[in-house]
Every structure is written in structure tokens, then in C-alpha cells.
Amino acid sequence: MAAPSYPQMRTRVCLLWVLLTVHQLPAQVGSWEVRGILGVLPPTALDKSPVVAEVRARLALRQLPEAHELAVSLMGQDVRNYEGYFWTGFVEFQQGSWYSAVRRLGKLRSCSLWAMPCRRS
């Protein structure tokens, strides 16, 4: 019997890798729901507004339209508060509105609690 060729061996290794890692999928998807798909959410200790807790709860339940609505309302409450821009951009990113999310997150550069209000456009 001849030894398997490189493509056959590579296929077998890839199949073995898939079989060994497929059981981790539910845990990984569950962590995306809590932390966001990129795992970049700031810790809750940094939340300045109580609305952020509601946004986080809606995100955990995958209620993206409701989370977006809350984040937009947070943005309108205090134009100097960066949290509204961050959470609105983050929810838009989760919804797949890439251009809008990048624009929203880009506004964070102009936000400061000690400076002028964030520019709106």
C-alpha cells in the first residue's frame, strides 16, 4: 500500500481538525452574543449612563433594533457624551451597517467631556 499523497494527507488533517473543534462552536457563538462578535465591549464599570445597561441587555438578547434605538437616544441626551456615539456605532456594526458604523465611531475623536460638543452631521 502506497503512502497517501500530500493533498490526501492535508484533507485528512483538515477533516480531523474540523471534527475536533466543532464542539466548541456553541460556546463561541454564546460568547459573541455577550461580548459582541469581536469581543471588544468595554467593562460595565466604565458605563456612565444607566441607558448603557439597557443597550447591553438588548445586545445580549440580540434585539439589535431596540439596542440601536436606545443608543441613538443616548446620543441625543448629551452631545458631549461619547457613550452614545460608541454604542450607536457598535450596534450598527453588529447590524452590518459598516459605513454608518465607521462614521459614527469616527466621531469619537471629536468627543470630549472637557471640550466642545461632538460635531453632528
Helices 98-106 + 82-95 axis angle, to 10: 160
> What backbone torsions phi and psi does residue 116 show, to the nearest 5 degrees?
-65, 160
**46: nearest Cα among 70, 85, 82:** 82
Predicted TM-score (pTM) of the model is 0.60
- What local confidence, expressed as pLDDT, does residue 30 receive? 58
Q: How confident is the model at residue 78 (pLDDT cuts 50, 70, 90)?
A: confident
Indicate whether 32 pLDDT > 60.
no
The domains located in the chain, with CATH, are 49-112 (1.25.40.10)
In this predicted model, what pLDDT tens digit does every residue of 84-100 receive, in sequence order?
888 888 899 888 888 88
- What local confidence, expressed as pLDDT, does residue 34 receive? 53
> What backbone torsions phi and psi does residue 5 show, to the nearest 5 degrees?
-75, 170
Q: How confident is the model at residue 14 (pLDDT cuts 50, 70, 90)?
A: confident
Amino acid at 63: Q
- What local confidence, expressed as pLDDT, does residue 68 receive? 93
Q: How confident is the model at residue 69 (pLDDT cuts 50, 70, 90)?
A: very high
The string of DSSP codes covering 62-80 is T-HHHHHHHHHHHHHH-TT
Considering only 7-21, 27-41, 89-103, which range has the smallest mean pLDDT?
27-41
Compare 46 and 117 and report the one with higher pLDDT: 46
State the average pLDDT over residues 10-16: 81
